[in-house]
Amino acid sequence: GLCQQASFLKSAAKVQQCPPDEGYEIAFAGRSNAGKSSAMNTLTHARLARTSKTPGRTQLLNFFTLDEQRRLVDLPGYGFAKVPIALKEHWQQHLEAYLQQRHCLAGVMLMMDVRHPLTDFDTMMLDWAEASQLPIHILLTKMDKLTFGAAKNTLLKVQRELHQNWPHTASAQLFSSPKRHGVEEALSVMSGWLEL
Ligand code: GDP
């Protein structure tokens, strides 16, 4: 599939440095350590998400090309204890601007550790997306760390919360990078957003 052909395009420290706002983009977001890099690599069969791993990097957004009209975007992992407040605020402002202003943004893949779903960062992302009528698909990652029953229970609870609080925005599924569980379901959501 197309996602296997992802290659690094550029980094941007602010919205003004993004590539031209045309075609289709899918952004990947998640609290730091939620499994975002692993999920991006699992979904694309590539080692995409290395560049943005170092805390304190000023890059806001890392762009990857799928084809001339389609891109994936790695958003900064939130929740680094070591990142200075000023940098956090810089990220937050520019991230909000990117989510609200980017016309080609077709949807956001939001990674949450299935053992710690709906953190403050996650609810902030969901609120922004709901305000912009931007779809979010949640990957409840690391499902292999729980029994299937416990993981499924969490999925049902999260789905109930989503339905109550962000009814127009969000869907969710279970995911595991090492077991490759949920890969097809995630790729099918992405293909729909990319109009493939
Ligand atoms: P990021 O900070 O959100 O990019 O998180 P990473 O992808 O770097 O993952 C953080 C840690 O969780 C790493 O040690 C990964 O190997 C581990 N991890 C990520 N996804 C999974 C998963 O689906 N299952 C398990 N068991 N571990 C995972």
What CATH number does residue 171 fall under? 3.40.50.300
184 membership: H or E segment, kind and range: helix 183-193
Structure tokens that stand for 127 in this block = 């609120």
- 42 CA → ligand 1 middle, Å: 11
Range of the domain at 117: 2-193
pLDDT tens digits for 25-84? 999 999 889 999 999 999 998 767 654 455 545 567 899 999 999 999 998 776 655 667
Q: Atom of ligand 1 at shortest distance to CA of 177? A: 23
For residues 130 and 124, is the Cβ–Cβ distance under 8 A?
no
pLDDT tens digits for 96-131? 889 989 999 999 999 999 999 999 889 989 999 999
| pTM for this model (two decimals) | 0.93
The residue whose two tokens read 């550790």 is 113
- 187 CA → ligand 1 middle, Å: 19
Domain count, the chain: 1
Structure tokens that stand for 147 in this block = 């029994």
